[in-house]
A and B are shown apart, each in its own frame.
Chain A
Amino acid sequence: MPEQLVFAMEVFLNGLMAGVLYALVALGFVLIYKASGIFNYAQGVMALFAALTLVGIMDGQVPFSHLINAVFGTEIHHFGWHLPALLAIVLTMVVMIALAWLVNHFVFRHLVNQEPIILFMASIGLAYFLEGMGDIMWGADIKKLDVGLPQGINSAIDEITFGIFDYGFFIDNLDIVATGIAALLVVGLVIFAQYTKQGRAMRAVADDHQAALSVGISLNYIWVMVWSLAGFVALVAGIVWGTKSGVQFSLSLIALKALPVLMLGGFTSIPGAIVGGLIIGVGEKLFEFAIGPMIGGATENWFAYVLALIFLVFRPQGLFGEKIIERV
Chain B
Amino acid sequence: MLDSVEPYTTEDGRKIGGVVMEMKNITLRFGGVTAIQDISFDIRDGEIRAIIGPNGAGKSSMLNVISGFYNPQEGEVFYKGEKRPPMKPFQVAQQGIARTFQNIALFEGMSVLDNVMTGRIRQMKAGLFAQALWKGKAEREEVENREVVEKVIDFLEIQHIRKTPVGRLPYGLKKRVELARALAAEPSILLLDEPMAGMNVEEKEDMSRFILDVNDEFGTTIALIEHDMGVVMDLSDRVVVMDYGKKIGDGTPDEVRTNQDVIDAYLGVAHD
A residues bordering B, Cβ < 8 Å? 195-198, 200-201, 203-204, 206-208, 210-219, 322
Q: Which of B69, B91, B119, B132 contacts A215 (CB 8 A)?
A: B119
Please give, as numbers and ranges, the residues of chain B lying within 8 Å of A197 by CB-CB distance: 121, 124, 126, 131
Q: CA A201 – CA B118 in complex, angstroms?
A: 7
- 10 A-B pairs with the lowest CB-CB distances in the bound complex, closest first: A216-B93, A211-B105, A207-B107, A213-B89, A216-B94, A216-B122, A210-B105, A196-B131, A197-B124, A218-B90
Q: 5 additional contacts, CB 8 Å, given A213-B88, A322-B109?
A: A200-B121, A203-B110, A213-B89, A217-B90, A218-B90
Would A200 and B117 be within 8 Å (CB), given that A208-B107, A210-B105 are in contact? yes
Interface: B67 (CB within 8 A) = yes
Interface: B201 (CB within 8 A) = no
* Chain B stretch 141-197: residues in CB contact (< 8 A) with chain A: 181-182, 185
Q: Looking at chain B, what size class is its interface with the partner chain?
A: 20 to 34
Would A201 and B121 be within 8 Å (CB), given that A214-B98, A215-B185 are in contact? yes
Q: CA A201 – CA B114 in complex, angstroms?
A: 10
Q: CA A216 – CA B131 in complex, angstroms?
A: 19
Please give, as numbers and ranges, the residues of chain B lying within 8 Å of A195 by CB-CB distance: 131
Q: Which of A198, A215, A322 contacts B98 (CB 8 A)?
A: A215
Whole-angstrom distance between the Cβ of A215 and the nearest chain B Cβ: 5
Interface: B206 (CB within 8 A) = no
Interface: B33 (CB within 8 A) = no
Query: Could you tell me the dominant secondary structure of chain A's interface residues?
Result: helix
Interface: B1 (CB within 8 A) = no
Whole-angstrom distance between the Cβ of B268 and the nearest chain A Cβ: 32
Interface: B267 (CB within 8 A) = no
Q: CA A214 – CA B92 in complex, angstroms?
A: 8
Most buried by A among B106, B108, B121: B121
Please give, as numbers and ranges, the residues of chain B lying within 8 Å of A216 by CB-CB distance: 90-91, 93-94, 121-122, 185
* Chain B stretch 66-112: residues in CB contact (< 8 A) with chain A: 67, 69, 88-91, 93-94, 98-99, 101, 105-110
Q: Which of A207, A213, A217 contacts B110 (CB 8 A)?
A: A207
Please give, as numbers and ranges, the residues of chain A lying within 8 Å of B91 by CB-CB distance: 216
Find out whether the CB atom of A200 lies under 8 angstroms from the CB atom of B185.
no
Would A214 and B107 be within 8 Å (CB), given that A200-B114, A200-B117, A201-B121 are in contact? no
Q: CA A322 – CA B108 in complex, angstroms?
A: 12
Please give, as numbers and ranges, the residues of chain A lying within 8 Å of B93 by CB-CB distance: 213-216
Q: CA A140 – CA B238 in complex, angstroms?
A: 71
Please give, as numbers and ranges, the residues of chain A lying within 8 Å of B269 by CB-CB distance: none
Q: CA A195 – CA B146 in complex, angstroms?
A: 12
Q: CA A110 – CA B124 in complex, angstroms?
A: 29
Q: CA A197 – CA B139 in complex, angstroms?
A: 12
Q: CA A210 – CA B193 in complex, angstroms?
A: 14
Q: Which residue of A lies closest to B107 (CB)?
A: A207
Please give, as numbers and ranges, the residues of chain B lying within 8 Å of A203 by CB-CB distance: 107, 109-110, 114
A-B contact pairs, 6 of them (CB 8 A): A195-B131, A196-B131, A203-B114, A207-B109, A215-B121, A217-B121
Whole-angstrom distance between the Cβ of B2 and the nearest chain A Cβ: 30
Find out whether the CB atom of A211 lies under 8 angstroms from the CB atom of B90.
no
Q: Which of A206, A211, A218 contacts B101 (CB 8 A)?
A: A211
Whole-angstrom distance between the Cβ of B99 and the nearest chain A Cβ: 5
Q: CA A302 – CA B108 in complex, angstroms?
A: 38
Q: CA A243 – CA B110 in complex, angstroms?
A: 39
Please give, as numbers and ranges, the residues of chain A lying within 8 Å of B114 by CB-CB distance: 200, 203
Interface: B270 (CB within 8 A) = no
Whole-angstrom distance between the Cβ of A213 and the nearest chain B Cβ: 4
Q: Which residue of A lies closest to B95 (CB)?
A: A216
Please give, as numbers and ranges, the residues of chain A lying within 8 Å of B101 by CB-CB distance: 210-211, 214
Would A208 and B90 be within 8 Å (CB), given that A197-B126, A200-B114 are in contact? no
Whole-angstrom distance between the Cβ of B221 and the nearest chain A Cβ: 17
Whole-angstrom distance between the Cβ of B75 and the nearest chain A Cβ: 22
Q: CA A218 – CA B122 in complex, angstroms?
A: 11
Interface: B5 (CB within 8 A) = no
Find out whether the CB atom of B110 lies under 8 angstroms from the CB atom of A196.
no
Q: Which residue of B lies closest to A219 (CB)?
A: B90
Would A214 and B105 be within 8 Å (CB), given that A200-B118, A201-B118 are in contact? yes
Find out whether the CB atom of B117 lies under 8 angstroms from the CB atom of A207.
no
Q: Which of B88, B94, B107, B117 contacts A211 (CB 8 A)?
A: B107
Whole-angstrom distance between the Cβ of B226 and the nearest chain A Cβ: 19
Please give, as numbers and ranges, the residues of chain B lying within 8 Å of A198 by CB-CB distance: 128, 131
Please give, as numbers and ranges, the residues of chain A lying within 8 Å of B67 by CB-CB distance: 214
Please give, as numbers and ranges, the residues of chain B lying within 8 Å of A219 by CB-CB distance: 90
Q: CA A204 – CA B94 in complex, angstroms?
A: 16
Find out whether the CB atom of A207 lies under 8 angstroms from the CB atom of B99.
no
Would A215 and B128 be within 8 Å (CB), given that A203-B107, A208-B105 are in contact? no
Would A214 and B132 be within 8 Å (CB), given that A200-B121, A201-B121, A208-B107 are in contact? no
Most buried by A among B109, B114, B124, B185: B109
Whole-angstrom distance between the Cβ of A133 and the nearest chain B Cβ: 29
Find out whether the CB atom of A214 lies under 8 angstroms from the CB atom of B94.
no
